[in-house]
Amino acid sequence: MIKVLFVCMGNICRSPMAEGAFRKAVTDAGLSNQFHIDSAGTIGYHAGSPPDPRAQETARKNGIDISGQRSRKVTTSDFEEFDYILAMDNENMRDLKSRRAGGKAALSLFLSHAKNIPINEMPDPYYGHHSQFDQCYAAAVDASNALLQTIIDAKLKS
């Protein structure tokens, strides 16, 4: 089982959409039984809350239901449990690195895997216009497809 965790600050916008986009890529590839996919936040302010309604709407209009996801805070055990932890921006990456006390997880910026997006940080759409959720979702799809191929090449091809 390959375990992948997506992380933003509150776990209600970017990381839930990234989790949904990656889950769709994995499902479309017929690999669902080989992956455990989750998302979390570096803060616990929204713990137990569903994704932001705008994130849910954006995912829904792209054929993905993320309404069942619930926000949670990153834990120390996540660094040992997950194989890959993907941060949405440099601030969250710094926070993850400062909390890490070992573990096997490979840390990287999620958009650093994208093939068609010229930025490494996922902009936070929370205080922006609804169209920013669409832009984040499109970036998540690009990065998800490339990340999945990287994982297939590294872990699933023999």
Number of domain units in the chain: 1
Q: Which of 50, 60, 55, 58 is nearest to 13 (CA)?
A: 55
> Could you give the residue numbers annotated as active site?
8, 14, 124
Mean pLDDT value across residues 130-154: 96
Per the listing, tokens 């941060």 go with 87
SS3 108: strand
**Alpha-carbon span 90 to 111, nearest angstrom:** 11
Domain span including residue 141 = 2-156
- The side-by-side arrangement of strands in the sheet containing 2-8 is 35-41, 2-8, 84-87, 106-109
> Is the confidence at residue 156, as pLDDT, over 90?
no
Say what angle helices 53-61 and 14-28 make with each other, to 10 degrees: 20
Residue 39: partners with Cβ closer than 8 Å, 6 or more residues away: 5, 6, 7, 8, 11, 15, 16, 18, 19, 69
Residue 128 has a pLDDT of 87
Tens digit of pLDDT for each residue in 8-66? 999 999 999 999 999 999 999 999 999 999 999 999 999 999 999 999 999 999 999 99
Tens digit of pLDDT for each residue in 89-106? 999 999 999 999 899 999
**Alpha-carbon span 49 to 39, nearest angstrom:** 13
CATH of the domain at 97: 3.40.50.2300
